[in-house]
Amino acid sequence: MATLQKKQSINCKVLVLGKSGVGKSYILLQYTAPSQEITQVPKTTVGVDYKNGTEKIEDTEVKMQIWDTAGQEKYRPIIQTYFKNSKAAVLVFDLTDKQSLIDVRYWLREVKVQCGKSVAKILVGNKCDLPHEQPDQALIQEYCEEFEMEYIESSALQKINIQEIFVKLAKKIYEQHKASNPQNPQKQNSLPANQVQNQNPSSTNQNINLKNSKLKKKKDNDCC
């Protein structure tokens, strides 16, 4: 007789971080919106904004609530208030902008201080479609070793490696979760279930505009 297996899932809040202009919003847009729906490239983000994405890893759905943050320095203190309960982060730099790779350290430190060490991370060198010099390999290696993450190059414009970023991250989330919950891999409640949608990653999004506002913080519906 066939047995009904309960669907296994992990809910996880993910931050997308990096200097202004590196392509964070465009990456997220390309990941969550079918290409025919993209009519214009994103404008600079003025707050935080989230979208949902799901990847199936082995028998488990990793449901990610992905927060796109504003890279402009003036928003940094506000952005940090959204770090709470984040279990994963995408660190983005621009392959044509050396400073943006140096800036990644700032975000890595913030993630470590505010979210702890057990945050799944991936480092993304974006805009690989543009002519660029080889990025500083020693620095990339240093980040990857120190913060235990993989490195991938992408182009949001040409949709190169966009899905791969989130598949790799979901795998890391899954592995970390399995390692910390060896008996019960299916149950993780980094987020209340009603905050992460199932299959359609673009089906939900929340935009919080911080322009001209003094810490207009969303009422705490972050992770539990």
Ligand X SMILES: Nc1nc2c(ncn2[C@@H]2O[C@H](COP(=O)(O)OP(=O)(O)OP(=O)(O)O)[C@@H](O)[C@H]2O)c(=O)[nH]1
Point out which residues bind ligand X (CB under 6 A): 18, 20-26, 41-42, 44-45, 70-72, 126-127, 129-130, 155-157
Q: How far is the CB of 177 from ligand X (least distance, A)?
A: 28
Q: Which is nearer to ligand X, 21 or 185 (CB)?
A: 21
d(CA 103, CA 32): 26
| Cβ distance to ligand X smaller for residue 23 or 177 | 23
Write out the two tokens for 102. Answer: 């140096």
Q: Which does 20 bind (CB under 5 to 8 A by kind): Mg ion, ligand X, none?
A: ligand X
> Which own/partner pairs from 128-137 qualify as long-range (CB within 8 Å, at least 24 positions apart)?
128/95, 128/153, 128/154, 128/155, 128/160, 128/161, 129/155, 129/157, 129/158, 129/160, 130/95, 130/96, 131/96, 132/95, 132/96, 135/93, 135/95, 135/98, 135/101, 136/98, 136/101
Q: Provide, rounded to whole angstroms, the least separation between the CB of residue 194 and ligand X.
A: 27
Residue 129 interaction partner, one of ligand X, Mg ion, none, beta carbon < 5-8 Å per kind: ligand X
Cβ closer to ligand X: 18 or 135?
A: 18
CB of 40 to Mg ion, least distance (A): 13
